[in-house]
Structure 1
Amino acid sequence: MKTLDRRWLWLLAVVLIGAIAAGTWVYNSKCRGIDACAAAEAESHERDRPSEPR
């Protein structure tokens, strides 16, 4: 019975570590929300092409 409890404990630890890692990645991600993604995409395209003379 103790090995079964240890397996559940390891599984819980792995799930918690994965959740913390995923939460950190999402928090540090530049793109939060649809508008932020669109703005980041437009900004990246703006840097790709040279500025046009006005």
Structure 2
Amino acid sequence: MQRGSFDVARCTVARLMKAMGLEGITRGKPIRTTVTTIQLFGSVIGTKFAPRHHGCTC
């Protein structure tokens, strides 16, 4: 990599950026994480469903 008039190795830049807590931009598609069933339906697990009776005789 060349910055201005300095020749710097890619690994040196990576090491210095890691030490400073910097991250470069991510190219391509954004990372999609898996959403588990428990995260989606966690509040319904263990719930007892009962039919509602509204006075109808059906």
TM-score by length of 2: 0.26
| Structure with the higher strand share, 1 or 2 | 2
| Structure with the higher helix share, 1 or 2 | 1
Please say which structure displays the higher CA radius of gyration.
Answer: 2
Q: Which has the higher contact order (CA 8 A, sep 6+)?
A: 1
TM-score by length of 1: 0.27
